[in-house]
Amino acid sequence: MRLLVTGAAGFLGSHLSDRLLAEGHTVVGMDNLITGSLDNIRHLESEPRFELIEHDVTNYIDIAGDLDGVFHFASPASPVDYLELPIQTLKVGALGTHNALGLAKAKSARILLASTSEVYGDPLVHPQPEEYWGNVNPIGPRGVYDEAKRFAEAITMAYHRFHGVDTRIVRIFNTYGPRMRPNDGRVVSNFIVQALLGEPLTVYGDGLQSRSFCFVSDLIEGIWRLFESDYTGPMNIGNPTEYTVRDLADMVLASIDTDSEIRNHPLPVDDPKVRRPDITLVRNELGWQPEVSLEVGLERTIVYFQELQARGLLETPPVLTD
């Protein structure tokens, strides 16, 4: 197949491109590099079945030739990114998804939308099943990302129902692994980078808020199975094992030789208190469940950041404020 990956130079988009190429397909990558990095796809420069088009998907997308599938992964995706880029986040969720759907319709291609657990907001139901409609503050600082993805899901289903476009929607829960940006503000990369630099680990609130961490290879496996399946509705993919943020901090400190200590900061506005996927649907429909434990995944991720440190590429992550 010939497949388009928007956001191909990003953390997830680059790993997805690798997987699609490994399956024997041809990949057209698209990225405006606003949060993506060419370093993530540098190893594909000599790959004849991969090409990168530098383009902003909020503008009309035109791809010459046949296209069998579209993976729409373009979007700022960390709190630091979408708080600094609120308008761009809303535009890529709305205009970018509209353009990706229009291209899929024109090419009679299947499209998979990368949605997020953030559509559940600060959930009142735990764990979160696909049937839960969420608890989102549409005018809060995180609303630009939450509502962009909720709109993206809505227009995707509208194209499916009205135009008959072959759609898939994945709701991605916290994912980590190599190629995360050192300064993107996500908790796993924050803690590892801070520990390697000997700086205090930033814990927001009391650290008892929970998260569930899925290693990137597990996530990509689930996404590929979803794309190949016949399931058109939203599907959670993530690791259902739940940890507190304080648990994660302690694990990182135990894994790295560092003098870092934990420093508490005020909890950001609308920060979710709990986050854990109900993966009953993906288990039943796709036979998928995560295989990489947090202990093993952290080891692999730490090695990646140690390599960046050796190259002088680590910088202090930003601290979120209200």
Please give the positions annotated as active site: 145
β-pairing, 242-244 vs 210-212, is antiparallel
SS3 308: helix
DSSP state of 128: B
For residues 116-140, one letter each, b for 16 or more C-beta atoms within 10 angstroms of the residue's C-beta and e for the rest, the string is bbbbbbbbeeebbebebebebeeee
Provide the angle, in degrees to the nearest 10, between the axes of the packed helices 216-228 and 11-22: 60
Quick one: which of 68, 147, 149, 161 has its CA closest to 111?
68
In whole angstroms, how large is the CA radius of gyration of the chain? 19
What is the DSSP track for 136-173? --TTSTTHHHHHHHHHHHHHHHHIIIII---EEEEEE-
Cβ atoms of 89 and 82 closer than 8 Å: yes
Distance CA 185, CA 141 (A): 15
Cβ atoms of 252 and 298 closer than 8 Å: yes
